[in-house]
Amino acid sequence: MACPFVRDVVDEEALVLRRAFRRERVFRDRLDPLAFPDDHLYERYRFSADGISGAFLYSVGDAEQLNKATICRTIRSVCLAIKALADVFISFPGHRRLCDIKEEFYRISGFPNVIGAVDCTHIRIKAPSGAHEADFVNRKSFHSINVQMVCNADCVISNVVAKWPGSVHDSRIFRASEIYQCLSQGEFSGVLLGDRGYGCQPFLLTPFTDPQEAQQAYNHAHA
C-alpha cells in the first residue's frame, strides 16, 4: 500500500514543476516584440525577451548566487569594455568591399548602388530625473532613447547613433549625424534606403507617397 506521506510530497513537487513549466495560451500583440517567443526574437532581433527587457539580471543572479546590484555593476563594466571596441567592429559602410555590399542589396530586389538601410528604433528607458524628462517621452507616450542604425543587406549594423531623446524625430537625428555629413560631401559612392520619415536626398532614397504604376515597382523594390 502506498504511503500517504510520500504521495503528498510527490504531488506537491509535481504541482511546483507544473507551475514552473506551465505555458499559458495568450493572444500576442504583434506591435510588441516582447510578446513573441524567444526563438522568434533570436531569429529577428538576435536577443531573447529577457535580454531585451533586462530580466536576465535575476536569472544570472540566482544562478551565480549574486545580488542584483553586483550583476548590474558587472554588466556595466562589460558594456563599457565592448563600447571601447565598438569602432573596431561597427564601421560604415562595412568591412567588405563596397561593390560586394552593393551586390548583396541588388540581389534582394534589383535595387542598384545601395550601401545601407537606415532607420531608428526606440529603446525604452526609465523616466530620467531633471528638467529634460519630457524630452524623452516619444510619440507612443513612453520614455526612450531614439537610436539610429544603418545596416547592410545581411542586417549587420554598420553605423549607430545612440544619444537622442525619444521625442526627437528620425530625420533630425539623421541630419545631425556624421554619416549624413559624409554622404552629403560625397565621401561614399552609393545611396542609403530610408522610410517615409526621412526627406528624399541624392544619397537617401525614400518611397513615393502616392505611387503610380512605375513608382509602385520602385516602392516594391525599395521595401
Distance CA 51, CA 39 (A): 13
- pLDDT value at residue 41: 59
Q: Which residues pair with 161 in a beta bridge?
A: 148
Computed over every residue of the chain, the mean pLDDT equals: 82
- Global confidence as pTM: 0.69
Cell 510520500 belongs to 6
Bigger pLDDT: 35 vs 100:
100
| Percentage of the chain modeled with pLDDT above 90 | 45
C-alpha cell at 140: 507612443
pLDDT higher than threshold 90 for residue 187: yes
**DSSP state string for 86-137:** HHHH--SS-SS-HHHHHHHHHHHHS-TTEEEEEEEEEEE-PPPPSTTGGGGB
For the segment 167-178, what is each residue's pLDDT rounded down to a tens digit?
999 999 999 999
Query: Average pLDDT for residues 99-122, to the nearest whole number?
Result: 93
Specify the pLDDT at position 65.
78
Give pLDDT tens digits for 22-56.
545 444 554 455 566 767 655 655 555 555 556 66
